Chain A
Amino acid sequence: MPLPDEYLVYLRRGYGMDHDFYEWSTWSQRPKITWPDGARVALWVNVVLEQFPLDTEKTPFSVPLGLERPYPDYWNYTLRDYGNRVGCYRLFRMLDNLGIKTSVAMNAALAQSTPFLIQDIIARGYEVIAHGLDMAHLHTNATSEEDEREWIRRSLEMLRRAGANPTGWLSPGQSQSDHTLKLLAEAGLEYCCDWSNDDMPYPFTGPASGLVSLPYPFELSDVYCMGLWHQTAVEFAEQILDRFHALNAEATKESCRVLALTLHASISGQPYRVKPIQEALSAIMKHEGVWSAKPGAILQAVRSQP
């Protein structure tokens, strides 16, 4: 059967993006950003804590390193759960020792089921990012707008009841429907980390006005480098440092930059992986011109640019 002729019709073929979520701009059109105290690179380390319900369906799609095996998938469930019991505390200790300002993106269901963990996170002064209900609640157009609004409301309510006060959002699996951004703005959230399309913050527009995109390079995440691509922790650490040096050089010539690093407690928190990551972060922290910052502080700094 041949394709309908509409396949050769391109409704959004024109200047800018093919949607209304944000505006197109070239690198050189962006406003020059400066960080506090003359810093060049803002280092943002985000630890991700996830809860994968054992009965997670494989539709509408499976997230990477999720419950891929037949029910009951103890293999993957416990591998991921390791992060919330052991791996995260190992990472927290490492990050605290280095004096790194940290954020934690956390499924609301996990905060509810593990009061010890969320209280520990709050006590350490970390910034909590809402990470949806759990890894079984993926945001897609298969969910009605009403239901999705309710998911977001419940996620925030559960985190707040546990004592956190999230102002930012990361969807489970960076999944979004066509309504997600609007609903996040409507819920009063200030930033979202689902769009891995920039090295700097930028504003969402239209119904999502008020919401800011923070850079979230998932290619430099442990899920991709080590979990899916099977690179060693030493190779992962090399890439962190290489990325830092490249951004630092650019910031010297052009505009300040953000180095965002995502660590999943169940992956980076494995004993043999911690040391290379620690060494890379330590080298960055010792470098002059580095500002260790939580995402809220980065957003604040962007908003207060002259």
Chain B
Amino acid sequence: MKRSEPGLYDYLPLTSRPAIRWPNGAHVAFWVAPNIEFYELHPPPNMSKNAWVRPNPDVLNYSWRDYGNRAGVWRMIDAMKELGVRGSVSLNVAVCDHHPEIIRRCVELDWELFSHGIYNTRFVLNMSIEQEQIFIRDVIDTIYQASGQKVDGWLSPSVSNNPWTMDLLAENGVTYTCDLFHDDQPMPVRTETGRLCSIPYSLEMNDVIAYTRAMKTPREYGRMIKAQFDQLYAEGEESGMVMCVPLHPYLIGQPHRLEPLLEALDYIKSHDKVWLTTGREIAHWYRDHYYDDAVAHAKILRTSHAPAG
């Protein structure tokens, strides 16, 4: 049966929640999440969502995505390395099989690898719980074998979920999800077992949204990132905020798009109260210091502001 609400988190208004302090008194925990993806030329059908807008083979769109791995990713990785910004990679784990060179480069640079499913053309929509369990184990095993890393984070391919997905993730030891966009701070996610939290990932700052839906120019995208940062940095003095810039090498790795991003990253780095970090580090810090406080505070709010009657 369908639910009228996600039922995954409590109402915790911005002005009434335990304050967060990041390491070294940072105002903003800043992380960059490149999506390194593999799209199949001939994906199987899923009745809820087409992988491509055109019939297979959709050469135009496939080749655009492939640009990310053939050209864009190398340009992006080199530039981020030069700036000293680590990536937290939202990874279609089949990239470990298809393009292990990319994975080796990320591991070399101490980047985090987290799950973005297996292929960006396979969705959990219409999977049974058992199928989704197999899917999740596959992801966790593949990343471990390729990098020795434990999967902490999860961004579903195409942000597609089943009602039980968060429970399965928590049960499998995942510590954070990027699929919820309800906040600028981490929040506990209600699951049957484990301690899962949501980490702000941001669709607004996502290059896919900025370029292909909001249709911004690269320079405008750079200005948006700076404006987002300025506001969060000011607010973060009171309680630490999270800012994420999600990237896709097939977009940001285009030669005419990289410079405005680098300029924005450089601007962010020039502030001293910034914690340049990864999704995993944010999630662990939050889980270890604030998860329980937030749950307890939400409970107080529920009681003190109980609905009338």
Please report A residues at the B interface, Cβ cutoff 8 Å.
1-3, 5-8, 10, 12-19, 24-28, 60-61, 140-142, 171, 173-178, 180, 194-199, 217-220, 228-231, 235, 238-240, 242-243, 245-247, 250
| Cβ B67 vs Cβ A196 within 8 A | yes
How many B residues touch the partner, as a band? 35 or more
Contact of B127 with A by CB under 8 A:
yes
Question: Judging by beta carbons under 8 Å apart, are A247 and B255 in contact?
Answer: yes
Number of residue pairs spanning A and B whose beta carbons lie under 8 angstroms apart: 142
Q: Are A60 and B54 in contact (CB under 8 A)?
A: yes
A199 close to B258 (CB less than 8 A):
no
Give A275 Cβ to nearest chain B Cβ, in Å: 18
Known contacts A141-B56, A173-B60; decide if A246 and B258 are in contact (CB<8 Å).
Answer: yes
The residue on B at minimum CB distance from A245 is: B259
Question: Which residues on B sit within 8 Å (CB–CB) of A194?
Answer: 59-60, 63
Which residue of the partner chain A has the closest CB to B39?
A18
Q: Which 8 A-B pairs have the closest CB atoms?
A: A243-B256, A246-B255, A229-B215, A27-B74, A197-B66, A197-B63, A195-B63, A176-B59
Among candidates A8, A198, A220, residue contacting B256 with C-beta atoms closer than 8 Å: A220
Cross-chain contact A196 with B63 (CB below 8 angstroms): yes
Shortest Cβ gap from B58 to chain A (Å): 9
27 A/B residue pairs, CB under 8 Å, sorted by A: A2-B128, A3-B126, A8-B122, A8-B138, A13-B94, A13-B98, A14-B97, A24-B70, A24-B99, A26-B99, A27-B71, A175-B60, A176-B59, A180-B59, A194-B60, A195-B66, A196-B60, A197-B63, A198-B71, A218-B60, A219-B251, A228-B215, A238-B217, A238-B219, A243-B255, A243-B256, A246-B259
Q: Which residues of B contact A25 (CB under 8 A)?
A: 70
* CA A282 to CA B302, docked complex, whole Å: 66
Q: Say yes or no: A3 contacts B46, CB within 8 Å.
A: yes
Cβ of B71: which chain A residues have Cβ within 8 Å of it?
27, 197-199
Q: Which of B220-259 contact A (CB under 8 A)?
A: 251, 254-259
B47 within 8 A of A: yes
Cα distance A26–B73 when bound, in Å?
10
Mostly helix, strand, loop or mixed at chain A's interface?
loop
Mark contacts of B55-80 with chain A using CB atoms, 8 A cut-off: 1 yes-contact digit, 0 otherwise: 11101100110110111001100000
- Contacts of B55 on A, CB cut-off 8 Å? 60-61, 140-142
Q: Which residues of B contact A16 (CB under 8 A)?
A: 98
* Beta-carbon contact of A219 and B64 below 8 Å: yes
Interface status of B306 (Cβ within 8 A of chain A) = no
Cα A239 to Cα B221 with chains together (Å): 13
Which chain A residue lies CB-closest to B59? A176
Report chain A residues within 8 Å CB of B74.
26-28
- Are A174's CB and B47's CB within 8 A? no
Question: Chain A nearest CB: distance from B219 CB in Å?
Answer: 7
Is there a chain A Cβ closer than 8 Å to B111's Cβ? Answer: no
Q: Give the docked Cα–Cα distance between A8 and B124 (Å).
A: 10
Q: Say if the beta carbon of B100 comes within 8 Å of chain A.
A: yes
B146 within 8 A of A: no
Choose from B63, B138, B254 the contact partner of A243 (Cβ within 8 Å): B254
CB contacts (< 8 Å) of A235 on chain B: these are 217, 219
Flag if B254 contacts A218 (CB, 8 Å): no
Given A27-B74, A140-B55 in contact, is the A230-B215 Cβ separation under 8 Å?
yes
A235 to chain B: closest residue by CB: B217
Contacts of A142 on B, CB cut-off 8 Å? 55
A10 to chain B, nearest CB (A): 7
Most buried by B among A25, A142, A219: A219
CB distance from B17 to the nearest CB of A (A): 39
Q: Is B40 in the interface zone, CB < 8 Å from A?
A: yes
Report how far A289 CA is from B40 CA in the complex, Å: 38
A5, B44: Cβ atoms closer than 8 Å: no
Beyond the given pairs A2-B127, A7-B46, 12 more chain A to chain B contacts, judged by CB atoms under 8 angstroms and listed by A's residue number, are A1-B126, A3-B126, A8-B131, A18-B41, A24-B69, A26-B99, A28-B74, A61-B53, A176-B57, A194-B60, A197-B70, A246-B258
Q: Is residue B119 contacting chain A, with contact meaning CB distance below 8 A?
A: yes
> What are the residues of chain B within 8 A of A196 when measuring CB–CB?
60, 63-64, 67
The closest CB in chain A to the CB of B104 belongs to A26
* Cβ distance B233 to chain A, nearest Cβ, rounded Å: 27
How far apart are the CA atoms of A158 and B303 in the complex, in Å? 79
Tell me if B5 counts as interface (CB < 8 A to partner A).
no
Nearest-neighbour CB distance to chain A for B161, whole angstroms, equals: 15
A-contact bits for B92-108, CB 8 A (1 contact / 0 none): 00100111111000000
A17 to B38, CA, bound (A): 9
- Whether B40 and A12, one on each chain, are in contact in the complex, defined by CB atoms closer than 8 angstroms, is yes
